[in-house]
């Protein structure tokens, strides 16, 4: 398993993967030394993440290999269908998966998504439009949604 640490506008991201695909991308709350030489297996992921943060990428084209239960895998797969710049609710996601009563299980699986940004769990919000829990912190979720928003916030000053 290869590891790389890259600097992003939201902190240091830790990327894990191998020839079978990416297993994990998480943002850290502590400082870590940025990887000087990116392992070959992670080069494309680093390149695409940098493009995303520069505003030049809306979709990722990477081999993914997250580890989780069958249900978690199903939820994570459904997250990939949420378009860039759009959001959905936990309730709508549950309906998409065929069981409106599974909303808590869907929310739990969403929170365990190991592939930050690439599998866009940040695009799931509360039914009332509120920013509900996010493993990377609500400030990061807000930043990501604003970054993807078609109507960019303008500064008054």
E strand residue ranges, 56-148: 88-89, 124-125
Q: Report the percent of the chain where pLDDT is more than 70.
A: 96
| H runs (alpha helix) in 80-137 | 90-96, 103-111
Q: How confident is the model at residue 64 (pLDDT cuts 50, 70, 90)?
A: very high
* CATH T-level assignment (fold) for domain 70-148: Arc Repressor Mutant, subunit A (1.10.10)
pLDDT at 84 over 70: yes
| H runs (alpha helix) in 112-152 | 138-148
Res 87: pLDDT: 95
* CA nearest to 51, candidates 118, 143, 138, 146: 118
Mean pLDDT of 99-126: 94
* CA nearest to 84, candidates 112, 51, 47: 51
Q: What is the pLDDT of residues 12-57, one digit of tens each?
A: 999 999 999 999 999 998 888 999 999 999 999 999 999 999 999 9
Q: Out of 121, 124, 144, 145, which one is annotated catalytic?
A: 121
Residues 6+ apart with CB under 8 A from 109: 68, 69, 71, 72, 74, 75, 76
Q: What is the pLDDT of residues 86-105, one digit of tens each?
A: 999 999 999 999 999 999 99
User: H or E stretch including 25?
Assistant: strand 21-27
Q: How confident is the model at residue 157 (pLDDT cuts 50, 70, 90)?
A: low
pTM of the model: 0.90
**8 Å CB contact between 66 and 76:** yes
Residue 121 among the catalytic residues: yes
Mean pLDDT of 102-118: 94
């Amino acid at each position: 398993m290869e590891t790389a640490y890259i600097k992003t506008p939201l902190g240091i991201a830790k990327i894990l993967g191998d020839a079978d695909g990416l297993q994990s991308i998480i943002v850290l709350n502590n400082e870590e030394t940025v990887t000087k030489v990116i392992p070959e297996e992670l080069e494309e992921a680093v390149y695409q993440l940098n493009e995303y943060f520069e505003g030049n990428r809306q979709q990722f084209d990477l081999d993914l290999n997250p580890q989780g239960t069958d249900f978690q895998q199903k939820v994570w797969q459904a997250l990939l269908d949420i378009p860039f710049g759009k959001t959905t609710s936990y309730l709508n996601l549950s309906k998409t998966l065929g069981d409106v009563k599974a909303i808590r299980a869907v929310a739990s699986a969403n929170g365990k998504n190991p592939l930050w940004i690439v599998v866009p769990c940040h695009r799931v919000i509360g039914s009332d439009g509120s920013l509900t829990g996010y493993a990377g912190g609500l400030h990061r979720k807000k930043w990501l949604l604003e970054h993807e928003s078609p109507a960019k916030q303008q500064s008054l000053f």
